[in-house]
Amino acid sequence: MNVYSLLDQAAIRHAQAGAVYCDETLVATFDELRHRSLQLASRFGRMGKPGDRVLVAAKNRPELVEIMFAIWAAGMVAVPVNAKLHPREIADVVEDSSPIVIMASTSIAQNLAPLAQRTPMIEIGSRDYTALFTGEASEPAEVAPEDVAWLFYTSGTTGRSKGAMLTHRNLMAMSVAHLADFDDVGHDSSLIHSAPMSHGSGLYMLPYIARGARQVVPGAGVFEPANFLRLCDVHPRVAAFLAPTMLQRVRIVCEAAGRVPANLHLIVYGGGPMYLSELRQSLATFGQAFAQLYGQGEAPMTITGLRRSDHATEDDAILGSVGWPRTGVEVKVVDRNGKALPAGTIGEIVCRGDVVMAGYWNNPEATAQALRGGWLHTGDLGSFDERGCLTLRDRSKDVIISGGTNIYPREVEEALLAHPDVAEVAVVGEADPEWGENVVAYVVPVPGKKLGADALDAHCLSSIARFKRPKSYRFLRELPKNSNGKVLKRALLSEAD
Ligand code: AMP
């Protein structure tokens, strides 16, 4: 079963219905989308063979829909990368995944020019791109459910990204769970891609394509709350995936306008902590228009969740939780030995089911570690209550989640340590009402050297993505450490209190 078949079946039922829109403008009907995807698939087929990777590096744009389905129709593996990554970080993903071609938007293509010497690159929207749609449409490739469809790169705690291998079965299980738990999608529904299509929003393309709904891509390619609300007036029965910080921005704009768009049907939030007060305010403004997901790249969008109806509660413990296991997913909280813990006891959250990745690309050790005993070890700590509702307690991996995006301290620490005048550094996340957490670096300069925030900021910009660099720097003579010499990050945080 190839996930491409979701488009094929929708095109049979809804051939003339609008499939892809850029803002309010129709870009392709389902029939056109299918034809263009198959034409592009035939070009990919001439460049390589099933199982080969195609890397996609672009801000959100309408072409991403045909590109993804073309990759699957060719039996190949999509490698979407976050457009905000630093060129060096994208180069790491290119090296790890060895794609046969890179599909990139203009600005990213320019930044990646050195890579083009080794890997062919096609600029999306260019004349070369248009020329790909002149030939014959190919027959979609046969694939097995366990064949990889999407390499989902998550930031690795060791600095290097790991590619979670998401199979056709995984993506199908995710789509079915979305339809079962969150949204009764119809051909009169729309999905607005406000969050990056390289991640959650792009994954949600599948259940909406399956039901013949519209894909709406904002023309700016970036998130603009006012435009999001405007598009909710234009398109029918709108759903969107928003990180908690995006939801907050939409709510503020909506409250200032004094009006809730009539067609706003569902906002799925998740990917990072949602503060209770924010959720309460959002419910007051938008009513019961929410579902919450708890998931990770390794079990895309689908571990536990709160359904729309779960939000109709006065119980803060439920609204502050990540809800119940999703359809088709088993979830346990376990101790260090993998033994299930009773309600009320905190342990590591593990899960299994058709949605769990096949493993990490080119990384059998990390795969064995993450999938030991047949369960995905999420690295998140949490506990169930007596009702079977799961609450996240902490993140065992120290990951900082700022604006719904994961930032791994070690990666930022490594970048800062590359500066010749930095002796020691510890990067931590400090609670922030707007962003969830902010990246803060505690820096010990090399004796006799003077360091300023501006110099370190410029240094970070040369090697890591903008969004990962610290928002503030604090300079210390030494870092607090335990008797083994391990930095006590908690002590830094309590000093900041
Ligand atoms: P990623 O693989 O980048 O999607 O990040 C996944 C991580 O984000 C999870 O392991 C959690 O730590 C965190 N996360 C995801 N969903 C939620 C949620 N609903 N509430 C709190 N944290 C979440």
What are the tens digits of pLDDT across the range 387-398? 999 998 756 667
User: Across residues 327-351, what is the average pLDDT?
Assistant: 95
Q: Is the pLDDT of residue 271 over 90?
A: no
Ligand 1 centroid to Cα of residue 17, in Å, is 35
User: Across residues 312-337, what is the average pLDDT?
Assistant: 95
Q: Is the pLDDT of residue 226 over 70?
A: yes
What pLDDT, on a 0 to 100 scale, did the predictor assign at position 423? 87
Ligand 1 centroid to Cα of residue 294, in Å, is 6
pLDDT digits (tens, 9 = 90+) for 85-108: 889 889 999 999 999 999 999 989
Residues 263 and 365 in one domain: yes
User: Across residues 479-490, what is the average pLDDT?
Assistant: 69
Q: Give Cα separations from 302 to 171, 323, 329, 405 (angstroms).
A: 10, 11, 8, 17
Ligand 1 centroid to Cα of residue 285, in Å, is 25
Q: Among 324, 357, 384, identify where a domain stops.
A: 384
User: Across residues 253-257, what is the average pLDDT?
Assistant: 93
What pLDDT, on a 0 to 100 scale, did the predictor assign at position 482? 61
Q: Among 351, 384, 417, identify where a domain stops.
A: 384
Q: Is the pLDDT of residue 496 over 70?
A: no
pLDDT digits (tens, 9 = 90+) for 182-209: 999 999 999 999 999 999 999 999 999 9
Domain count, the chain: 2
The residue length of the chain stands at 497
Ligand 1 centroid to Cα of residue 222, in Å, is 21
Angle at 70 between CA 69 and CA 72, to 5 degrees: 65
SS3 category, 466: helix
What pLDDT, on a 0 to 100 scale, did the predictor assign at position 155? 62
Cα–Cα distance measured from residue 311 to residue 325, given in angstroms and rounded to the nearest whole number: 16
Cα–Cα distance measured from residue 19 to residue 27, given in angstroms and rounded to the nearest whole number: 8
Average pLDDT, the chain: 93
Ligand 1 centroid to Cα of residue 406, in Å, is 8
Atom of ligand 1 nearest to the CA of 164: 2
pLDDT digits (tens, 9 = 90+) for 65-88: 999 999 999 999 999 998 988 898
Burial bucket for residue 224 (CB in 10 Å: 0-12, 13-18, 19+): middle
Q: Whose C-alpha lies nearest to ligand 1, atom 1?
A: 296
SS3 category, 210: helix
Q: Whose C-alpha lies nearest to ligand 1, atom 4?
A: 296
Q: Is the pLDDT of residue 493 over 80?
A: no
Residues 376 and 406 in one domain: no
What pLDDT, on a 0 to 100 scale, did the predictor assign at position 144? 98
Residues 211 and 327 in one domain: yes
Residues 235 and 286 in one domain: yes
Residues 320 and 428 in one domain: no
What pLDDT, on a 0 to 100 scale, did the predictor assign at position 157? 40
Ligand 1 centroid to Cα of residue 415, in Å, is 24
What pLDDT, on a 0 to 100 scale, did the predictor assign at position 151? 98
Note whether residue 44 is domain-resident: yes
Ligand 1 centroid to Cα of residue 405, in Å, is 9
The answer to whether residues 50 and 76 touch, using CB atoms and an 8 Å cutoff, is: yes
Q: Percentage of residues in the chain with pLDDT exceeding 70?
A: 96
Probe ligand 1: pick from 296, 304, 467, max atoms within 8 Å of CB?
A: 296
Residues 367 and 415 in one domain: no
Phi/psi zone of residue 373: left (φ > 0), alpha (ψ -120 to 50 degrees), beta?
left
Q: How confident is the model at residue 381 (pLDDT cuts 50, 70, 90)?
A: confident
What pLDDT, on a 0 to 100 scale, did the predictor assign at position 158? 46
For the chain, state the CA radius of gyration.
23
Cα–Cα distance measured from residue 44 to residue 32, given in angstroms and rounded to the nearest whole number: 18
Ligand 1 centroid to Cα of residue 42, in Å, is 37
Cα–Cα distance measured from residue 301 to residue 269, given in angstroms and rounded to the nearest whole number: 10
Q: Is the pLDDT of residue 160 over 90?
A: no
Q: Whose C-alpha lies nearest to ligand 1, atom 15?
A: 271
CATH number of the domain to which 477 belongs: 3.30.300.30
Note whether residue 372 is domain-resident: yes
User: Across residues 165-178, what is the average pLDDT?
Assistant: 98
Residues 318 and 408 in one domain: no
Q: Whose C-alpha lies nearest to ligand 1, atom 9?
A: 296
What pLDDT, on a 0 to 100 scale, did the predictor assign at position 397? 61
Alpha helices in 336-408 (DSSP H): 364-370
Cα–Cα distance measured from residue 280 to residue 244, given in angstroms and rounded to the nearest whole number: 12
Alpha helices in 74-113 (DSSP H): 87-97, 106-111
Residues 377 and 412 in one domain: no
CATH number of the domain to which 24 belongs: 3.40.50.12780
Q: Among 384, 410, 435, identify where a domain stops.
A: 384
What pLDDT, on a 0 to 100 scale, did the predictor assign at position 393? 75
Q: How confident is the model at residue 485 (pLDDT cuts 50, 70, 90)?
A: low
Note whether residue 390 is domain-resident: no
Note whether residue 240 is domain-resident: yes
Probe ligand 1: pick from 155, 274, 392, 395, max atoms within 8 Å of CB?
A: 392
Note whether residue 181 is domain-resident: yes
What pLDDT, on a 0 to 100 scale, did the predictor assign at position 417? 87
What pLDDT, on a 0 to 100 scale, did the predictor assign at position 275? 74
Q: Whose C-alpha lies nearest to ligand 1, atom 22?
A: 272
**Residues lining ligand 1, CB < 6 A?**
154, 270-273, 292-297, 322, 378, 380, 392, 395, 406
User: Across residues 322-326, what is the average pLDDT?
Assistant: 98
Q: What's the one-letter identity of residue 231?
A: L
Note whether residue 344 is domain-resident: yes
Residues 304 and 435 in one domain: no
User: Across residues 377-385, what is the average pLDDT?
Assistant: 93
Note whether residue 456 is domain-resident: yes
Residues 328 and 468 in one domain: no
Q: Give Cα separations from 304 to 157, 179, 307, 494 (angstroms).
A: 24, 14, 10, 31
What pLDDT, on a 0 to 100 scale, did the predictor assign at position 484? 47
What pLDDT, on a 0 to 100 scale, did the predictor assign at position 497? 42
Q: Whose C-alpha lies nearest to ligand 1, atom 23?
A: 272
The answer to whether residues 80 and 202 touch, using CB atoms and an 8 Å cutoff, is: yes
Ligand 1 centroid to Cα of residue 14, in Å, is 35
SS3 category, 362: coil
Note the pTM of the prediction, 2 decimals.
Answer: 0.86
Probe ligand 1: pick from 155, 241, 401, 408, max atoms within 8 Å of CB?
A: 401
Q: Is the pLDDT of residue 270 over 50?
A: yes
Ligand 1 centroid to Cα of residue 302, in Å, is 10
What pLDDT, on a 0 to 100 scale, did the predictor assign at position 481? 73
Burial bucket for residue 386 (CB in 10 Å: 0-12, 13-18, 19+): exposed
Cα–Cα distance measured from residue 324 to residue 481, given in angstroms and rounded to the nearest whole number: 39
User: Across residues 288-302, what is the average pLDDT?
Assistant: 97
Residues 335 and 435 in one domain: no
pLDDT digits (tens, 9 = 90+) for 398-436: 778 888 887 878 788 888 988 999 988 999 999 898 888
- Domain housing 192: 4-384
Q: How confident is the model at residue 319 (pLDDT cuts 50, 70, 90)?
A: very high
pLDDT digits (tens, 9 = 90+) for 103-159: 999 989 999 988 888 999 999 999 999 999 998 998 999 999 999 999 999 864 445
Residues 380 and 404 in one domain: no
Note whether residue 178 is domain-resident: yes
Cα–Cα distance measured from residue 332 to residue 329, given in angstroms and rounded to the nearest whole number: 10
